[in-house]
Structure formats: C-alpha cells, structure tokens
Chains A and B, each alone.
Chain A
Amino acid sequence: MRIPISAMIGLFFTGLYFFIAIFAPWLAPYGMTEAVGDVWEPASSTHWLGTDSIGRDLLTRMIYGGRTTIWIATAATILSFTTGSVLGLLAATIGGWVDQLLSRLVDLLMSIPSLIFALVVLSVMPVTITVLILVMGLLDSTRVYRLARAVAVDINVMDYVEAAKLRGEGRSWIIFREILPNALSPLVAEMGLRFIFMVLFVSTLSFLGLGVQPPAADWGGIVKENKEGIVYGIPAALVPAVAIATLAISVNLVADWILNRTTSLKGGRG
C-alpha cells in the first residue's frame, strides 16, 4: 500500500500534535502558569518561541494549550458522532413520526447559527470544560445526524436490509451489523472535518472569552492574550494561529485520503 505524499504530511503533523497533547507535562520546559521572563521577550535559546504578555514561556503555553484544545475538540467530536449517528440511524430505520420529530428538531437547531447559540448558552451557564464539550458536541451532532440519516436512508432500502428484516432480525442487528459498516466510510471522513470545525469553534469561543478560562491555556486564548502585541510588531499571537491552521490542514489531508481510499469511484465510470 502506498501513501500519497500529501497524506504523509497530514499524518505526520496530526500525529505530532496528538503526541504533544498527550505528553504535554513531560515535554513542556516550564510550568504552565509560571512567569519565567520579561514581557514579550523575543525567541532565544532559553525560550524557543519567546515569552507571552505576562512573561510566561510561550512554547510551554502552546504545548499545554494544544493539550486543552485537542482534548476538548476530540471529546466534543466523539460526543457529536455518537449522538448524531445513533439518532440518525434510528431515524432512518424507524421512520414515521420518530424521524419527523428528530429531523424537525434538528432543522430548528440548525436554523440558529451555532456560534450565537453557543454564546447565549455559555453566558448563562457556568463555563467549565464539561459544559463546553457538551454544548459544542450537541450543537455539532445536528450535522452528523443529517449525514448519518441521509446515508442510512439509502442503505435501508437495499435488499440485504430487507432480507435481514424478513429473517426477523432485531433493530440493533440491522443498525450495527447491516447498515453501520456500509455507512462508515463517509462518516469517518466527515469525522475529520468535524474535528477541525471543533478546533476552530473552541478557539473562537476562547478568543471571545467564553471558552477555556485563564489561567488555563488554549490556542484561542493565547491569541486573545497576545493580540495587543501585534500593534508593536510582536508575533506571539501568530504562533497559535499558525498551529490552528497547520492542524486543520493536516487533518483535512488525512480525511481526504481516507475518503479517497474507501470510495469505489476511481476514474471513469464505476
């Protein structure tokens, strides 16, 4: 099996970021909230990326920030996927009023811009990581629901599903053994894209002050803390921005590759 160069790059960076996120406490040179130097020191041998707006080591903040951002995004993606795909598959197989109720509810949620919705909810709820994950995961599950339902409706009318029904199989066999394996490849590819969306979402919320609360670090928060520096020509705010961008692009490359590999459409007709 040959992996194309773009996917290789994607896999490398995605792997690197996840590795750093998991082993952050061992990799970070300083403590997360420890002030170790002057304000906005330039990069040097002691502080590879310089220091931030209150003299903390920026590399350390970035490492811990990555850990928070990736952890929240991963947890929210998993939540949105399990909720969205289970409900979507149920709606597709049961049909009737269950499908109608769930689908209209999802339409309702989707008609409100997620960011505005999240801002309203987070401004009345205590902002903890759990609440953040729940709000983001549930809001995003509407999109997964739509995809899962659409894919499953197509599969549900295949003869092998009818054959399983005629055999007398229960709903869980039909969903998890007949439909899910065939719906998996579009769902997995979508998972990568949803994950990126979560990274952007949590960063946006933190930048707006409703996400991860200081002194805990996350990439959106680091942009916010250092944004004044840009006026004085200090690039500290750009470092997390670059990190967000590279993570987004790498995950996209991986997702593209998976979709390409699993789809049967390769050149020409069928």
Chain B
Amino acid sequence: MSDALLKVRDLKIGATVYPPSGKPHDIEIVHGVSFELEKGKVLGLIGESGAGKSTIGLSAMAYGRGGVKITGGEVWVNGQDILKQGIRDLRRLRGANVTYVSQSAAASFNPAKKIMEQVTEAAILQGKFSRKEAEERAVHLFDKLGLPNPEKIGNRYPHQVSGGQLQRCMTALALCPEPDLVVFDEPTTALDVTTQIDVLMAIKAAIRDTGVAALYITHDLAVVAQVSDDIMVLRMGETVEYGPVDQIINNPQEEYTQALVSVRSIDHEEKLPTPDPVLTVNHVTARYRGTNFDVLRNISVDLHEGQTLAVVGESGSGKSTLARVITGLLPPAEGEINFAGRALSPALEQRSKEDLRELQMIYQMADTAMNPRQTVGTIIGRPLEFYFGMRGAEKRKRIKELLEEIEMGDGFIDRYPAELSGGQKQRVCIARALAAKPKLIICDEVTSALDPLVADGILKLLLNLQKIENVAYLFITHDLATVRAIADSIAVMYQGKVVRYGTKSEVLSPPFDDYTDLLLSSVPEMKLGWLEEVIAHRKMESAGN
C-alpha cells in the first residue's frame, strides 16, 4: 500500500432503472474508475451531467444515493478498504474522517436550527471535540473562510445569511471535525459569478491551511483549474483523461478534453445599430403588486432588427423582471415600450394576436417549458395552428421543416419531452418560438441549465437562425462568456438599474465602472493562477458579502 490517503481501484457502480415499459433492471453507471489522492492535495472531477462525478465522489464515503449500489472495485481510505466495512465503522468514517459539501447549502441546512449547532454537530457527535472546543474551532473556521462577524454568525439561522455565506458555512461544517478528506460537490455552481469567486478563494485557502485532501466535483473546467492539483475528466462513467492540472489545461491529449478547454470560443462579429430599433424600452419602472419596492428603475434600452441585446447581471438584478415587463406579464408602473414601430399595450390581455405572435419567449428550464403530455409535434404545431390556421398535411410539413432548422430529424415529431435530452428539449423550445415567425425572441438564461458543450451547440444554432430568419434576441444571462459569444449590444444591470449600456465593444472596453469591472473580472478563465490575480486587483466587494 502506498501512502495515498484515498485510493480508488477499478470502481464499478450500478443502479436500477425503471423504464416506463418493461421490467426494472440493473445497469452499470461507472465502469471501473481508478485514482489516488495524497494528503493535502486536491483532485478535480469534471464532466457533464450523467458522467458519474457525484456518484464517484460519494463512493469515497462508501455511500450510494437512492437505488445506486457500488458493485465492484476497492475504495481505500487511510489504508482501509471501506467497501468491506460494516455500517458501524462507516458511521464513524462519515462526517468525521470524510465529509461532504453539497451544491445547494440552502437545501442542506436545517432551517429550524442555528448555524453553529449544525456546524459543530458532527464533531461533537463523533467525540472529536467537546462542545466548547468545537465552537472555538467553528469560529476559527468562520474567520478563515472570510465570513463577517465570525464570533456571532453562528447564532444566526440559515435564512439570515446570504447564499455565498451559507455555502462557506457549509465548508466550515465539513472542516470542523478535522477530516482527512472533504468531498466538494459543485459547491459554487448555484452562486453568482461575483460570489463564486469569494467562495472559491475561501475554500482554496481553507484547504491549504488545514492540510486536508479534497475531491472537487464540478462541470466547469475553468473553476476546477483554480483549486486542483490533479484533474480527472469523466464521461459516461469512464475516465477520459487523468493528470496534473497543468497538463489538462495547457496540453490536453484527448479530443473530448480539448473540446472542454476550448468551449465558448465562438467568434461573433458585432453588428452596428440600425436607425429604427425593433424594440424600445423607454424609462420603464416596475414593481410587483402589493409592494412599494421598485424592481426596475428607469430602464431605457433599444434593440435593433436582427441583432442581439444581452442583459447581464447577478440574480436579483431585475433581468427576468425586465422580460416579464416586455412580455406584458407585469405591466410597468411608469414608462412605455415600443415594438415594431407601434406602442405595446402594457398588459398582456390588451395585446393583439399580432403583437403576441411577433414577440416570443424561450425559457431557462426547457423541462418545465414544455407540457409533458404533449408530443413534439403538438408543441411545435400549436403556434402554427393558432397564429396561421395551419392544419393537417400543411402543418405537418412545416413542423418537419422547423425540426430540420433546429438540426433534429423529423423522427422526433411523435416523441414526448421526457424522451429527449436536455439540449434537444431546448431546441424544441426554440422551434416553437420560431414557428410563430417572430421579430423578437426573449431568451431567459436559455443555456444556464445545460452542459458547456451542449450550450455551445445551442448558441451556435441561435446565431445561425438569426442570420436566416433575421430575428432579434433579447438575451438574458448571468454568464459573460455567453455574452461575449453572441451579443451585439449589452446592458449591464445592477439592483434594478442599467449601470452600463452600449455596443459590445463599448461595454467590454475600459474604462469600466466598478460593478462592470467586478462582473467582468469574476468570470473564471481557463488559466492557472487566475483566481489569485483577480483577487489582487479587485476594486469592489461583491454583493454577497
């Protein structure tokens, strides 16, 4: 046995699937993965959804989520094969020697208990520390993780701190019992970029200072490059490439890794504004019913025919509210909207069918944007029927054309949404919007829920369709890499206001205002040492602090 802290050899993991027709049966989801992790080192596990990265991460605690079983191989922690241990030994291992940080801290903390109680619970329960020692250690960790008021924050309830702070509390929870190994499962994925960077920095410093080993699971290669020593690229339960971080980022051998490294390198020439914008938002202020708080404050932006306006900002900046105002779901309190040379009625109910047809929307979650009981044909066919009165063979022909346009064959026409992959679902939503022959499509975070390579495909498709159909996009996103790829003009939103607005080259060239600088510098870059550089040059604290 070498002195590796964690040694995984030929790990095989299976799960039971329940197909809608036919008998439940077992399939293998991880096919013989091996790796080693030394004390004080960080191994990044990266791959798309379904690659098996979380499943492998949890196997370091000999744990499988509902229906998942470890079927073969060995997992050695501190010189013991934990797959052979009984539940009593495993209980002593979990939460004490190996701990876990999940993606959503908000869903993992018990809302009814104070943070301190939850952070120290495992350490006390496992007999590692007395209550007093554990609390002292927790305060020390809070301080180390850069949480404000480290002495007092433990007395708060989980809802009383921000998302980024809670994620750091969870890291404190994992580090409190002085574990040998921490499994980080997408700890920053649910956070805004500006908050993500603080959490990343805190995690990195904590790992360095405590000398703990870590498995860092994420789908974002740029993020994992900042914290890891080694990286393992996974795809469909198999190792694609495994090596030191420098080699994976700067000299990837496998085609799949190369694709991951070069993701979002779409080149898009920016178009110049035309004299008549297709959409003009004029001094719009909006608030939700029954509140006094202005979610949007005096917003004015233009969008030109066949072009893309990207609206960027963190969660809570009012981007999606702007979409609701334009679609008429939330009539503005003040201001007006002009569309295709005419004034749009503020409320949805008063708009003409023509207005509705020319303004379409695509949602973030393609899953919930399609009725699960309707076939692809019905979903795409309904706008054709509703706006153009198409029926029968004519309608079917047009549906097939649209399926061709979104690069899916006509074999999909009778399928249900549940039978499609994430990227295919979003493509069908795009086809539904296109079916109405719109002048403007509002895209609300359409690529955020997708894996990077799939998202790339969707962006390319959208750009291509824009050339063919001359449709304008209002593209709402928090991801600046996406913005760089497709925008012609950009509006940066912060706390309900547009803080910077202009063509892409104007907005992305210095001098920057403080917020845009923070936002731009927070986008992880595929380069080693980027994190330290950014932190050193920052002018403004993120809102999450």
* Residues in chain A within 8 A of chain B (CB atoms): 1, 158-160, 162-163, 165-169, 177-178, 181-182, 266-269
Complex contact B66–A168 (CB within 8 A): no
Who on chain B is nearest to A2 by CB? B23
Does B368 touch A at the CB level, under 8 Å? yes
Is there an interface contact between B363 and A182, defined as CB atoms closer than 8 Å? Answer: no
- A4 to nearest B CB, angstroms? 13
Q: Knowing A168-B386, A267-B16, A269-B67 touch, does A163 contact B373 (C-beta < 8 A)?
A: no
Verify A268–B65 contact, CB threshold 8 A. Answer: yes
Neighbouring B residues of A165 by C-beta, 8 Å: 329, 348
Q: A168-B356, A168-B386 are in contact. Are A163 and B65 (CB under 8 A)?
A: no
Chain B residues closer than 8 Å to A268, beta-carbon distance: 16, 65-68
Closest residue of chain A to B355 (Cβ to Cβ) is: A168
- Contact B373–A159 (Cβ < 8 Å): no
**Which positions in B face A, CB cutoff 8 Å?**
16, 18, 21, 65-68, 327-329, 348, 351, 353, 356-357, 359-361, 363, 365, 368-374, 382-383, 386, 432, 436
Shortest Cβ distance from residue B367 to the other chain A in the assembled complex, whole angstroms: 9
- Distance (whole angstroms) from the CB of B66 to the closest CB of chain A: 3
From A159, A162, A169, B386 is in contact (CB under 8 Å) with A169
5 A-B pairs within 8 Å (CB atoms) are namely A158-B368, A166-B360, A167-B383, A266-B18, A269-B66
For A269, give its contact among B18, B65, B360 (CB under 8 Å). Answer: B65
Chain B CB within 10 Å — which of A162, A168, A169 has the most?
A: A168
Which residues of chain A are within 8 angstroms of B432 by Cβ–Cβ distance?
163
Least CB distance from B225 to A in Å reads 31
Which of these, A159, A168, A169, contacts B363 with CB under 8 Å? Answer: A159
Contact pick for A1, options B21, B351, B357, CB 8 Å: B21
Complex-state Cα separation, A205 to B371, whole angstroms:
43
Complex: chain A residue closest to B23, CB-CB: A2
With contacts A160-B370, A178-B371 known, what are 18 further pairs, Cβ within 8 A?
A1-B21, A159-B365, A160-B371, A163-B432, A165-B329, A166-B348, A166-B361, A167-B386, A169-B386, A181-B371, A181-B374, A266-B18, A267-B18, A267-B66, A268-B65, A268-B67, A269-B65, A269-B66
Q: Are A167 and B382 in contact (CB under 8 A)?
A: yes
Q: Are A159 and B368 in contact (CB under 8 A)?
A: yes
- State whether B353 touches A168 (Cβ < 8 A): yes
Give complex CA distance A178, B370 in Å. 10
Instruction: Known A159-B368, A266-B18, A267-B16; judge A181-B373 contact (CB<8 A).
Output: yes
Name the B residues within 8 Å of A266 (CB-CB).
18
- Give the complex CA separation of A266 and B432 in angstroms: 32
Nearest 3 CB-CB pairings of A with B: A268-B66, A268-B67, A181-B373
Which residues of chain A are within 8 angstroms of B365 by Cβ–Cβ distance?
Answer: 159
Q: Which of B328, B359, B360, B369 contacts A159 (CB 8 A)?
A: B369
Residue of B nearest to A269 (CB): B66
Q: Which residues of A are found within 8 Å of B436, using beta-carbon distances?
A: 167
What distance in Å separates the Cβ of B387 from its nearest Cβ neighbour in chain A? 8
A117–B66 CA distance with the chains assembled, in angstroms: 47
Kindly provide the distance from the CB of A160 to the nearest chain B CB, expressed in whole angstroms: 5
CA distance in complex: A31, B198 (Å)? 87
Q: How far is the CB of B38 from chain A (nearest CB, A)?
A: 33
Question: Which of chain B's residues has its CB closest to A160's CB?
Answer: B371
Residues of chain A within 8 A (CB-CB) of B369 are 159-160, 163
